[in-house]
Copies of this chain bind each other. A is one copy, B any other.
Amino acid sequence: MKKTIINILEEVDLNQPIFIEALPGIGHVGKLAADHIIDELGATKFAEIYSPSFPPQVMVDEEGIIETMKNEFYYLKSAGEEERDYLFLVGNTQGLSPEGQYEICGLILDLAENHGVKEIYTLGGLATGQAVEKTKVFGAATNKEFAEKLKEHDVTMRSADGGIIGASGLLLGMGTLRGMEGACLMGETPGYFIDAEAAKAMLNVLIKLLKLEVDTEKLDERAEETRKMISKAQQMEQEMMERMTLKPGEEDLRYIG
């Protein structure tokens, strides 16, 4: 496995779908929201991505069953008031290296382009590191038209506080080179817990923008379940770091014959 591969599970025919990306990131905000829409609206999985740039590991679920690192595509046909088709990208990881991120995002955009995508929304969190009183939703857009649309929906344009790192940024940036336009929505979050409030605030903006109907109440339950997995993630990252930093005082015996 030297290259990223996309396994197509079902051939689907979509009509200029709106592409929504929400891979794991700050406060789990984007992922919570996207998993929720997929679940509530009954989207169907049709493709999986495996990449040598994903972390070289597997996850273990609550019952001790192993789960591979992957990204997944779902589709939805004729949804919401405007009867639009949708393409969703979710998963349990992102590429680790810059080169990997670019390769994976390139393949994702190939698939999106082949399905006629012209419009992208990427979802994430914006960590403030502080408690949040009333959750703001921040945004950035690929052009002024989308920026205006965001402002009409009470999105605060992210103007003096940095860039957008990872797939949420790259897909929009590289998408413009293929004639796709769109925006990134970021739920404000303290950033150190699974933040259902941030996800709900962001989701409420998104569904208004797209004229979708999604019950956001169940997001709290979803957040609760996700919270149970947190300690797992922390321990895992710690192990990863220990492996990567190879502190000599610790007995990582990788090099012994």
Contact = CB atoms under 8 A, between A and B. Distances in A.
Nearest to A101: B56
B160 A231 contact: yes
Contacts of A93: 254-255
A165 B239 contact: yes
Contact of A159 (B58, B63, B139, B173): B63
Contact of A176 (B63, B68, B140, B193): B68
Interface stretch (A47-55, A74-82, A202-210): A47-55
Q: Which of A55, A158, A257 has the most CB of B within 10 A?
A: A257
B24 A254 contact: yes
A193 B228 CA distance: 32
A254 B58 CA distance: 13
Contact of A69 (B162, B166, B173): B173
A254 to B, nearest CB: 5
B58 A163 contact: yes
Contact of A143 (B59, B65, B94, B160): B65
A25 interface: yes
Contacts of A52: 98-99, 101-103
A174 B157 CA distance: 42
Contacts of A17: none
A235 interface: yes
Given A98-B52, A250-B191, A251-B27, A256 B233 contact: yes
Given A170-B58, A251-B192, A64 B157 contact: yes
Contacts of A184: 66
Given A161-B232, A161-B235, A163-B59, A240 B253 contact: no
Contact of A256 (B92, B100, B248, B249): B92
A6 interface: no
Contacts of A58: 140, 163-164, 169-170, 172-173
A22 to B, nearest CB: 12
B102 A159 contact: no
B64 A174 contact: no
Interface in A146-169: 147, 150, 157-166, 169
8 contacts: A28-B251, A55-B254, A64-B140, A64-B157, A65-B143, A160-B231, A165-B239, A192-B251
